[in-house]
Amino acid sequence: MAARARSSSATSRRSGPGPPFFRFADEAEFSRLLAGGGLDEVQVRTISSSHELSGADELWEVMVRGTVRSRALLLGQPDEARVRIRAALDQVVREYASGGGIELPVSVKLAAGRRPAS
């Protein structure tokens, strides 16, 4: 969702060093990482849930204060681009309105592997 808002409004800029934001959302890529680290019987699964926030202001604060790469990406934009990103975020989160706030769908990858017996 935030990526959708960002992609529709942001000037293209890198968020600094590091892998692509969603690199390990790809289960095959995540499995390769663990297998490449010497683990056997690698399993990766997706866990879906939702996260409640008071609204777009709280989500913006989470993105700016709670994540290093998102902070760098957002604050590294020119002021006018950041205003457009924020406006797009406000628009996107409306579809997640719930009660007095927003309920955002989230998913995480849970991965496990077994270290081979020595």
Q: CB 64: neighbour CB atoms within 10 A?
A: 16
pLDDT for the residue 1? 56
pLDDT for the residue 3? 54
pLDDT for the residue 16? 60
Q: Which structure tokens are listed for 15?
A: 């968020």
Number of domains in the chain: 1
Q: Which structure tokens are listed for 24?
A: 């390990």
**pLDDT tens per residue across span 6-45:** 444 444 445 466 778 888 899 999 999 999 999 999 999 9
Q: CB-based burial of residue 74 (10 Å sphere; 0-12 exposed, 13-18 middle, 19+ buried)?
A: buried
Range of the structural domain that residue 31 is part of: 2-114
Residue 32's φ and ψ, nearest 5 degrees, are -60, -40
Residue ranges of E strands in 10-116:
40-53, 97-98, 101-114
pLDDT for the residue 8? 46
**pLDDT tens per residue across span 58-117:** 999 999 998 888 999 999 999 999 999 999 999 999 999 999 999 999 999 999 999 998
